Structure 1
Amino acid sequence: MEIEVFEVALGQWAYRVGGVYQEWHPDCSGFVPMSQAEATACATGIAARLSGA
């Protein structure tokens, strides 16, 4: 499954798994930006679950 990890703001990362993007709402209370490593780990885990691994 295709994974893309990308910087959306300086030092703040998001990801795409297949055709689904992580929701990005930095103006919402409780929002915590992800580092590149955190975004990569999340995307990898989601891709594994979606592929049934």
Structure 2
Amino acid sequence: MDLTRRAASAGIFMAPSSIFTLDRVGYQPAIRVNVAYADDRRFLDFMRGELA
């Protein structure tokens, strides 16, 4: 959730995968990104900063 909060403060919406899960059986922590925005410069710059 920290990553999604930092993204939100940068104006980028990322959803934690827990939003899309009905139960926690077999749950894998992940994030969801709208692929239409996956090549957006703001998103790419944000992710580069997070991974650095």
Smaller-chain TM-score range?
under 0.3
- Give the structure with the larger helix fraction: 2
Normalising by structure 1, we get a TM-score of 0.26
**Under a length normalisation based on structure 2, what TM-score does the superposition of the two structures give?**
0.26
Please say which structure displays the higher CA radius of gyration. 2
Q: Which has the higher contact order (CA 8 A, sep 6+)?
A: 1
